[in-house]
Structure 1
Amino acid sequence: MLKQRLTDDMKAAMKGGDKSRLGVIRLINAAIKQREVDERAELDDTQVLAVLEKMVKQRRDSITQYEAAGREDLAAGERFELEIIQGYLPAALSDAEVDALIDEAMAATGAGSMRDMGKVMGVLKPKLQGRADMAEVSSRVKARLAG
């Protein structure tokens, strides 16, 4: 579904002459195709979301580095790419929704210590894929399990 949407959007950008958007969509398709070639398998929507999340993380890191170096022109380009990539991710969850899912996962796994971190994250990852920053979720889970 997601790959088809990307293809349709790419065609629309070509017809509309939106070269900057077309370039970003081609970057996304290239990243997806590269992973398919590496794994020798066609990606499903969950795996495509993982590729998109990785691209979002890369753009955020680049923006931070460009701003630190005083290269606002390059940071603006990365922000544009980030905005388009995020348009293909599902709507982000609020902090309260993420906390509720963490509580639910901890109860379901019976987690009580840091040794249970993997179990909790294993339950959370499919639910939060593309809808929350997993590094932030991980730190929240750690804080809950530690104290």
Structure 2
Amino acid sequence: MDLYEKISEDIKEAMKARDKVRLMTLRNIKKVFLEAKTAPGANDTLGDAAAMKILQKLAKQGKETAATYTQANRQDLADEELAQVKVIEGYLPQPLSEEEIEKAVKDIIAQTGATSMKEMGKVMGVASRQLAGKADGGTISRIVKELLA
């Protein structure tokens, strides 16, 4: 069962459980998935890798929106947004710890033979592909800078 089908099944379960937050979040995810499937050049398919990228994007947007609400002293809206983010994160793989990211980046630096900050782009390109979905780009970038400095 791919991620799209899993979301559809979970919508039914959320309806039965009368879980409004989960239902609303899952319907939004399915809407975005459908838009991606019907986009020009998508051939009416949506692979799990593309679906994961969409989920990561939605989670990131939700966190940013919640931060904006918090700055505007609207904690009620921020809490609602964070509840939706929690549902989305349930479908994402567990993120790597700082130590695991650092180990992976050290291996990538060894593979690429990078020795200075001038080669950060080369390391980031490989690291971004290998750690996609498992680590935040900002965290990867910070660790690469620390190790190459």
State the Cα RMSD in Å: 1.7
Q: Which stretch shows the higher mean deviation, 133-142 or 70-79?
A: 133-142
Query: For residues 138 and 51 of structure 2, what CA distance do their matches in structure 1 show?
Result: 19
1:97 deviation in Å?
A: 0.4
**C-alpha offsets along residues 51-86 of structure 1, whole Å, 9 cap, x if unaligned?**
111111111111111111100010011110110010
| Aligned residue in 2 for 1:25 | 26
More helix, by proportion? 1
Q: How many residue pairs are counted as aligned between the two chains? A: 146
TM-score, length-normalised on structure 2?
0.88
Amino acid at match of 2:128: K
Aligned to 2:77, which of 46, 49, 74? 74
* Unaligned stretches of 5+ residues in structure 1: none
Residues 4 and 118 of structure 1: is their aligned pair in 2 closer, same or farther, counting only changes over 3 Å? farther
Residues 117 and 2 of structure 1: is their aligned pair in 2 closer, same or farther, counting only changes over 3 Å? farther
2:51 is equivalent to residue 57 of structure 1: no
* Unaligned stretches of 5+ residues in structure 2: none
| Aligned residue in 2 for 1:93 | 96
Q: Which stretch shows the higher mean deviation, 80-89 or 8-17?
A: 8-17
TM-score, length-normalised on structure 1?
0.89
Residues 117 and 34 of structure 1: is their aligned pair in 2 closer, same or farther, counting only changes over 3 Å? farther
Residues 122 and 10 of structure 1: is their aligned pair in 2 closer, same or farther, counting only changes over 3 Å? same
Residues 142 and 94 of structure 1: is their aligned pair in 2 closer, same or farther, counting only changes over 3 Å? same
1:39 deviation in Å?
A: 4.5
| Aligned residue in 1 for 2:3 | 2
Query: For residues 52 and 31 of structure 2, what CA distance do their matches in structure 1 show?
Result: 14
**C-alpha offsets along residues 4-62 of structure 1, whole Å, 9 cap, x if unaligned?**
22122112112222222111011111122222333431221111111111111111111
SS at the partner of 2:77? Answer: helix
Query: For residues 81 and 122 of structure 2, what CA distance do their matches in structure 1 show?
Result: 35
Residues 10 and 40 of structure 1: is their aligned pair in 2 closer, same or farther, counting only changes over 3 Å? farther
* Contact preservation (8 Å) 2:106, 2:147: no
Residues 37 and 114 of structure 1: is their aligned pair in 2 closer, same or farther, counting only changes over 3 Å? farther
| Aligned residue in 1 for 2:117 | 114
1:129 deviation in Å?
A: 2.0
* Contact preservation (8 Å) 2:22, 2:87: yes
Residues 33 and 112 of structure 1: is their aligned pair in 2 closer, same or farther, counting only changes over 3 Å? farther
| Aligned residue in 1 for 2:147 | 144
